[in-house]
Amino acid sequence: MSERVALVTGGSRGIGEAICRRLAADGFTVLVASRSQEKVDAVASSIREAGHTAHGLALDLTDISTFKDIVKQIVEDFGGIHVLVNNAGVTADNLMMRISESAYDDVMQTNLKGTFFLSQAAIRPMMRQKWGRQINISSVVGLMGNVGQANYAASKAGLHGLTKSMAKELGGRNITVNAIAPGYIETDMTQNLNPDVKAAFLKQVPLGRMGQAQEIAHAVSFLASDAAGYITGQVLTVDGGLYM
Ligand code: NDP
């Protein structure tokens, strides 16, 4: 068992997978979590093949009733939770006029409500350890809004309020809570965008390109480290300069 344990939601692919790989390379025992046991086991096994420590964990953010038992089991099996990266997220894009109640609920359930209660469940072990890092992966869309993403933007803006409130409540316990707001990152979530929309979007990015999942993982690595111990309640944009 390594000294510090990191739980990463949405670790089965994309940004979450890159975060898992980076934190494992940093020396954390990484718990790769998503709804699919098969997929997280595959990511964890490939991390182990690279010589690091990782395990797959089935966790569905819409199933809040399971969180306390999952956290208890992690503490029993691995000795604690030092870093929680709330990365899992979904979209159900449409114009505001056309967003159904179920499209609103699906996005809120995973992105905000699930994250809220998993963060809550992880507080107790972090308090006992007198050390903790919670890192919420939000989005620049939560800062600047976006056409066709009112439900998603509201969920991500909600994460910013959660981040700052938790940072204020938990600072005295040596637990930092920050958000990373990615811009436009190349993953499954963005691969089906219309090329014209993509080109128009990239014109607004001073660095003129999409970001890579590893570039979010590097920022997570820093915020999870001892070096970031005096940073809390912040929203760090990693977006090629899109929002400033
Ligand atoms: P992907 O769609 O590639 O991956 C989403 C991840 O979330 C998957 O691992 C999926 O795993 C997991 N997931 C979805 N629903 C649940 C659930 N109910 N419970 C547990 N896990 C779940 O997304 P990205 O990697 O692109 O995005 C990662 C995060 O970054 C998201 O929060 C996203 O909003 C944010 N972001 C992404 C940007 C981008 O440009 N890509 C830009 C800004 C923010 P599985 O299906 O196996 O359960």
Give yes or no for a contact between 122 and 66, defined as CB atoms under 8 angstroms apart. Answer: no
Smallest CA-to-CA distance from 73 within 29, 117, 122 is with 122
Average pLDDT over residues 81-103: 98
CA of 144 to the centre of ligand 1 (A): 20
152 is catalytic: yes
Residues 151-182 as b/e (b if ≥16 CB within 10 A, e otherwise) read bbbbbbbbbbebbbebbeebeeeebbbbbbbb
Query: What is the number of alpha carbons within 13 Å of residue 196 lying toward its C-beta?
Result: 0
Q: Is the pLDDT of residue 3 over 90?
A: no
DSSP secondary structure code for residue 211 in this structure: B
Is ligand 1 within 6 A of the CB of residue 59?
yes
Tens of pLDDT along 44-65?
999 999 999 999 999 999 999 9
Q: Is the pLDDT of residue 30 over 90?
A: yes
Tens of pLDDT along 142-183?
999 999 999 999 999 999 999 999 999 999 999 999 999 999
The protein residue with its alpha carbon nearest to ligand 1, atom 21, reads: 34
Residue 227, pLDDT score: 97
CA of 90 to the centre of ligand 1 (A): 6
Q: Which tokens hold the place of 27? A: 């020396």
| Mutate which of 31, 34, 91 for ligand 1 pocket (most atoms within 8 A of beta carbon) | 34
Smallest CA-to-CA distance from 179 within 197, 158, 153, 154 is with 158
Question: In terms of C-beta distances under 8 Å and separation of at least 24 residues, what long-range contacts does 144-147 make, across chains too?
Answer: 144/242, 144/243, 147/95
Is ligand 1 within 6 A of the CB of residue 158?
no
Tens of pLDDT along 222-240?
999 999 999 999 999 999 9
Which band of pLDDT confidence, cut at 50, 70 and 90, is reported for residue 194? confident
